[in-house]
Structure 1
Amino acid sequence: MDKIIRIGTRSSKLALWQANTVAEQLGHFGHKTEIVKIDSIGDIVLDKPLYELGITGVFTKNLDIALLNGEIDIAVHSFKDVPTKLPEGIVQAAVLKRGDFNDVLVIKEDENFFTKDAAIIATGSLRRKAQWLYRYPHHTITGLRGNVITRLQKLEDNDWDGAIFAAAGLKRLKLLPEKEKHIKLDWMIPAPAQGAVMIAALEKDEDILEACKEINHEETATCVGIERDFLRVLEGGCTAPIGALAMIFDEEIKFKGTLFSPDGKNKMEFYKEVPVNNATDLGEYGANYILERGGKKLMREVHDIEKSTLVYSTKSLSHDQTNNLSSKIGVTSSDFITIRNNRLKRVIVKKPIKNALFTSQNAVEALLNNFSRVELDFENIYCVGRRTKRLIEKKIGKVTHIENNSEKLADYLVKNLDTKEVTFFCGDKRMDDLPTTLLNNYFIVNEVECYQTQLTPRLIEDKYKGILFYSPSGVESYLKENTANEIVAFCIGETTAKKAKDHFKNVVVSKLSTVESVIKSVNDYFQE
């Protein structure tokens, strides 16, 4: 690319180190660059207000505006300072290989203060404060702000025993004190994406994105992506004591996420090791694991205002799905069922299958857990639900026909199929009438049980006015520990609703077989 890439950066020494490192790496691939210092913006000319574009945060705002204004081509950030949701039109273009992610304690005099009854440690980070007090509850934490050089000087000027810094910043500025004057805090879980440098660019600028892709470090991008997912779901930002660290060893990702109370008295932790190719939702899963076990009580700020209506979802909801609820509705969510994939014999797909049927995403995922795409030779594929359709077309092939529920799909097949034989991929607790309808119309139905549904019931409090169900098994699991009473059952489709109607007086059925449609039905019901 002949174009000179304008690299936007703040003018602090650490920010310039990051920008020059990006310039050097781009130069290695033959790209010409120019450093543009952005510390303030004059006249702002944008199509929308900043809040509508999602531009927030003192660390990134000016660079975001300069990027959208066309004053720079890329913006270089310390990744841990970047909000988890990027502004509209701006995307993550690359992540450099991660530096040292550890925190370090810079010591004022010596380590003897550890033997005393009291000590004063300086940090402006709520995460560092909470973790230090969890380990050393008898110490006192004092605030510390400013850039790295300013904070080092404050340590020198005050009667403190030590101050906590990010190791990467000290090393990059060649300010890490000699060995006797610092301690690596390898027991402290770092901030999500600590030590990583991120490059942002405009989503529409394909040439710039291609150039940045050349310096992207995939392993770092994967790890910090998991950490930031953990942060995003917990909604911590800079206001909650959250630590997260993902590392790759021998094709496995080891991930630890922590949430502390601000005073350091309470701690919740999640740890899991999974294969790299199976870690796409690891951060989100870890955050939900903590939230479900009381994590919200440890948050420094209450993110949800007091709600006039509370509902309970029998499936863990994503952050975006939760945000789709009306502002007056509060929600708690957890999984009332878990799925265990069966091991399938290869003979099942040894021959071409003329008509394959799917009524759930679980069946698709279970099938793909056993066979690769090239092993699946389906002439026609029929399914229920738009999400199931999207998954099939992404992982297997073109869907011949889709319906919103099993009953409609059965009617379609009866009227339109010349070959009266189908292969139905399903689970062990299917409750739809599709096979029965087909058998009554002289079809041959080959059922393949791909997965087993395990109930994970739990008792919920009486304060909820609505319960959200996504499968008949979810209804069954809920009723193991709870009664229907006067609570409203919101159901994802007719099959689930049929099960719910046997127990609940008031059942509301979503118009579409999607989680978003169930949430909309909740909003509509309580708006009346």
Structure 2
Amino acid sequence: MSKIIRIGTRDSELALWQATTVQQKLEELGYDTTLIPTKSMGDQVLDKPLYELGVTGIFTKTLDVALLKGQIDIAVHSMKDVPTQLPKGIVQVAVLERAITHDILVHKGSDFLESGQPSTIATGSLRRKAQWLNKYPNHQVVDLRGNVNTRLIKLIENDWQGAIFAQAGLERIKLLPKDAIQLDWMIPAPAQGAMLVVAKEEDKFTREALAKLNHSETEIATTIEREFLRTLEGGCTAPIGALAQIKDQAVFFEGVVFSLDGKQKIDIKKQVKLSDAKGMGKACAEEVLQKGGDKLMQEIRNENSALH
């Protein structure tokens, strides 16, 4: 094992935690590794909402380029940040066992949820914004960007009532407040809580090394969710949630698409045997499109193009 596997990662605390986790697992298997942190465009441009930047893969593109140039051997990502279509020459080599998938509300006192008073919640996610407004139509949702640490500081500094985060991210870097509220009614982003490792298609050594870290149940579930996303999205940014769970040799799937203002909602729930799960994400997305999702997605595209 003479080759040193160079691990590319974003330089945020959470991204470094993820990359270090992969590094430790590889080293336990006897591989030599080194970490190569870098800043992504998504970490640098913080004064605009993600959807206004109009770039897919804003957190992954820098690492894709480094991979294709041969500056790193693998890149470790939060899977929900990765476009469903990987660049030519780059392949998925491992999906690690998934953490908890829920979103949570970090707040300064939760009385406002019952009071019905107009309140302000922060998130940079169209999906979280639409679902929040669907449940609390009299609230205002403001944009919140930056890494986890930056977003927590912004919440303290502003007069917002709360902000929405992925529970897995805060747990991983030990920043989960004890009184955070789990939003079990909110459908997570496709592949939320999962870590993805990619490598160059031609790099047989690295691909074989990373295959040993793959968690097959997580891979199946995230494949279904990302297939649902890809079939619906057609390259546009939209409030889409998806969750596939495997239990007792069956797959339970829940998927949803909202209008940007949260007023319209088209959802689907399905259960199939694990042996019949191939193509499940695509089939569920096609059903959503037939139920009016195609019209809704077109409206979202029109609103997005007006923003750009």
- Structure-2-length-normalised TM-score: 0.90
Could you list the runs of 5+ residues in structure 2 that have no partner in the other structure?
Answer: 42-54
The one-letter code matched in structure 2 to 1:69 is K
Task: Kindly indicate whether residue 197 of structure 2 is the aligned counterpart of residue 224 of structure 1.
Answer: no
Q: Aligned equivalents of 1:122 and 1:238: distance in 2? A: 22
Task: Kindly indicate whether residue 288 of structure 2 is the aligned counterpart of residue 287 of structure 1.
Answer: no
In structure 1, which of residues 209, 214, 218 is the aligned counterpart of residue 212 of structure 2? 214
3-state SS in 1 of match to 2:8: strand
The one-letter code matched in structure 2 to 1:243 is G
Q: Specify the alignment match of 2:32 in structure 1.
A: 32
1:112 positional shift? 4.1
8 Å contact kept, 2:105–2:165: yes
The one-letter code matched in structure 2 to 1:214 is K
The one-letter code matched in structure 2 to 1:221 is E
8 Å contact kept, 1:73–1:202: yes
The one-letter code matched in structure 1 to 2:255 is G
Q: Aligned equivalents of 1:222 and 1:71: distance in 2? A: 30
8 Å contact kept, 2:236–2:301: no
8 Å contact kept, 2:112–2:119: no
Structure showing greater Rg: 1
Q: What does the per-residue CA deviation read over 1:327-375, in whole Å, with 9 as the maximum and x for residues that have no partner?
A: xxxxxxxxxxxxxxxxxxxxxxxxxxxxxxxxxxxxxxxxxxxxxxxxx
Q: Aligned equivalents of 1:237 and 1:24: distance in 2? A: 35
3-state SS in 1 of match to 2:301: coil
Q: Aligned equivalents of 1:94 and 1:237: distance in 2? A: 24
3-state SS in 1 of match to 2:18: helix
Q: Aligned equivalents of 1:112 and 1:38: distance in 2? A: 40
In structure 1, which of residues 240, 246, 249 is the aligned counterpart of residue 247 of structure 2? 249
Q: Aligned equivalents of 2:208 and 2:157: distance in 1? A: 48
1:243 positional shift? 0.1
Kindly report which structure 2 residues correspond to 1:344-359, keeping only aligned pairs within 5 A, or say none: none
8 Å contact kept, 1:259–1:269: yes
1:204 positional shift? 0.9
8 Å contact kept, 2:40–2:59: no
Q: What does the per-residue CA deviation read over 1:35-79, in whole Å, with 9 as the maximum and x for residues that have no partner?
A: 0112379xxxxxxxxxxxxx9532111101111111111011111
8 Å contact kept, 1:68–1:202: yes
Detail structure 1 runs of 4+ shifted over 4 Å in the superposition.
Answer: none
Q: What does the per-residue CA deviation read over 1:147-188, in whole Å, with 9 as the maximum and x for residues that have no partner?
A: 11111111111111111001111111111011x3x1000110
Q: Aligned equivalents of 2:40 and 2:279: distance in 1? A: 37
3-state SS in 2 of match to 1:294: helix
Q: Aligned equivalents of 1:192 and 1:233: distance in 2? A: 12
Q: Aligned equivalents of 1:77 and 1:186: distance in 2? A: 24
Q: Specify the alignment match of 2:105 in structure 1.
A: 105
1:102 positional shift? 0.6
Q: Aligned equivalents of 1:298 and 1:37: distance in 2? A: 39
Indicate the RMSD between aligned Cα atoms, in angstroms: 1.8
3-state SS in 1 of match to 2:150: helix
Kindly report which structure 2 residues correspond to 1:19-418, keeping only aligned pairs within 5 A, or say none: 19-39=19-39, 57-178=57-178, 180=179, 182-235=180-233, 239-299=237-297, 300-302=300-302
1:90 positional shift? 0.4
3-state SS in 2 of match to 1:105: strand
The one-letter code matched in structure 1 to 2:107 is I
| Gap change, CA 1:235 and 1:289, over 3 Å in 2 | same
Q: Aligned equivalents of 2:23 and 2:114: distance in 1? A: 43
The one-letter code matched in structure 2 to 1:227 is E
| Gap change, CA 1:251 and 1:34, over 3 Å in 2 | same
Q: Aligned equivalents of 2:40 and 2:292: distance in 1? A: 42
The one-letter code matched in structure 1 to 2:145 is R
Q: Aligned equivalents of 1:259 and 1:269: distance in 2? A: 6
- Structure-1-length-normalised TM-score: 0.53
Q: What does the per-residue CA deviation read over 1:176-225, in whole Å, with 9 as the maximum and x for residues that have no partner?
A: 011x3x10001100000011110000111111111101000000000000
Q: Aligned equivalents of 1:213 and 1:250: distance in 2? A: 25
Bigger fraction of residues in helix: 2
Q: Aligned equivalents of 1:67 and 1:184: distance in 2? A: 37
Q: What does the per-residue CA deviation read over 1:456-486, in whole Å, with 9 as the maximum and x for residues that have no partner?
A: xxxxxxxxxxxxxxxxxxxxxxxxxxxxxxx
Higher RCO, 1 or 2 (CA under 8 Å, sep at least 6)? 2
Q: What does the per-residue CA deviation read over 1:105-149, in whole Å, with 9 as the maximum and x for residues that have no partner?
A: 001133344213321111111100111111111211111111111
3-state SS in 1 of match to 2:188: coil
The one-letter code matched in structure 2 to 1:291 is L
Could you list the runs of 5+ residues in structure 1 that have no partner in the other structure?
Answer: 42-54, 306-528
Q: How many residues align?
A: 289
Residue identity over aligned pairs, in percent, reads 56
3-state SS in 2 of match to 1:273: strand
The one-letter code matched in structure 2 to 1:124 is G
Q: Aligned equivalents of 2:221 and 2:69: distance in 1? A: 31
| Gap change, CA 1:108 and 1:302, over 3 Å in 2 | same
| Gap change, CA 1:56 and 1:171, over 3 Å in 2 | same
8 Å contact kept, 2:221–2:244: yes
1:31 positional shift? 1.2
Q: What does the per-residue CA deviation read over 1:237-271, in whole Å, with 9 as the maximum and x for residues that have no partner?
A: 67201000001000101011101111111111111
The one-letter code matched in structure 2 to 1:133 is L
Q: Which moved more, 1:110-119 or 1:208-217?
A: 110-119
8 Å contact kept, 1:113–1:161: no
The one-letter code matched in structure 2 to 1:16 is L
